[in-house]
Chain A
Amino acid sequence: AQSVSQHNHHVILSEAASLELGCNYSYGGTVNLFWYVQYPGQHLQLLLKYFSGDPLVKGIKGFEAEFIKSKFSFNLRKPSVQWSDTAEYFCAVRTPYGGSQGNLIFGKGTKLSVKP
Chain B
Amino acid sequence: KAGVTQTPRYLIKTRGQQVTLSCSPISGHRSVSWYQQTPGQGLQFLFEYFSETQRNKGNFPGRFSGRQFSNSRSEMNVSTLELGDSALYLCASSLGQPDSPLHFGNGTRLTVT
Contact = CB atoms under 8 A, between A and B. Distances in A.
Interface of A: 32, 34, 36, 42-46, 49, 51, 90, 94, 98-109
B90 A101 contact: no
A43 B97 contact: no
A49 B101 contact: yes
Contacts of B35: 106
Nearest to B90: A44
A46 B101 contact: yes
B1 to A, nearest CB: 14
B6 to A, nearest CB: 9
Nearest to B95: A101
Given A44-B104, A45-B104, A98-B56, A105 B45 contact: yes
Contacts of B41: 108
B104 A100 contact: no
Closest 3 CB pairs of A and B: A102-B48, A100-B56, A108-B42
